[in-house]
Amino acid sequence: MSIEIAKSMLDELAAKFEAGDIEGGKSDLTKMKLEMLNFPLTEEHNDICISALEFGVLFSVEDHDLQIFARNLAQLKPHYSLSTSKSSDRKCHILGLNLMYLLVDNNLSEFHANLELLLDDEATTPYLSFPITLERHLMVGLYDEVLSARSCIPHPSYGFFMDNLLQTVRDSIADCIEVSYKSIKIQVAMGMMKFESRKIFMEYIGEHREDWQVTGDYLCFQPADICLKASDIPSTQLIAQTLSYATELVRIV
């Protein structure tokens, strides 16, 4: 395929993205991927592949499809490694989305492996400094900072991953609340978990915390499991087993 035709296909893909035509863009990208298999190994053709697959990543975010997101990203990374071009804003954007995806997936080993590959000027861009800061907050348990970060995302495309991450963080806070209190005011719990309305909070309880009891303006929690008493432990049986093991060891020696 000539470079002119490849550029024309890329322009059509870009137009679909600007128009918000997700389905049309996905269809065009599929056709372009087939053509990319026959691209010559030139820097110019590689740059076109990068741009096309970057659009694919962004389309998958708009479509809220994590599986396709991961697939497009896996196809994109080899082209990044072959490129000699300087880092662009879009590349930093894509790499930042990848870090957000790894946080949502709780794949921290891969997260840190990807950090090692970043250039210093890339890591300091808002696209990448945002997920890096989030990860630090998560590691030290600053959940309130993570929940508040939803209002200062560097690009709207980060919102999809933040929504998924907020769910994980809220679940962690809920776990802490129910073992720390016998009861708590609903308004206080809403503030801790950054819910803006009681209706949404009640929907969360109905979907994820069915054992929480709502009594007026309070939440009541089931008592924690009682630890085993000494009488509950089968001591005689354990002693017999231990003596049996000791006897067998003596025989072996």
Instruction: Annotate 210-229 with three-state secondary structure.
Output: CCCEEECCEEECCCCCCCCC
**d(Cα 134, Cα 120) in Å, to the nearest integer?**
18
Given CATH 1.25.40.990, say whether it is the number of domain 1-85. Answer: yes
Same fold for the pair 1-85 and 88-176: yes
Per-residue pLDDT tens listing for the chain (253 residues) = 678 888 888 999 999 989 989 999 999 999 888 888 888 888 888 999 999 999 999 999 999 999 999 999 999 999 999 888 888 899 999 999 999 999 988 888 999 999 998 988 899 999 999 999 999 998 888 888 887 888 899 999 999 999 888 888 888 888 888 888 889 999 999 988 888 899 999 999 998 898 899 888 999 987 644 434 444 445 555 555 655 555 554 455 4
Beta strands in 40-117, from DSSP E residues, in sequence order: none
For 167-227, the DSSP string reads HHHHHHHHHHHHHH-SEEEHHHHHHHHT-S-HHHHHHHHHHH-TT-EEETTEEE-PPPPPP
Residues linked to residue 215 through DSSP beta bridges, in sequence order: 218
- Provide the whole-model pTM: 0.73
Segments making up each domain of the chain, as ranges: 1-85, 88-176, 181-236
Tell which CATH architecture fits domain 88-176: Alpha Horseshoe (1.25)
Give the Cα-Cα-Cα angle 45, 48, 49 (nearest 5 degrees): 90
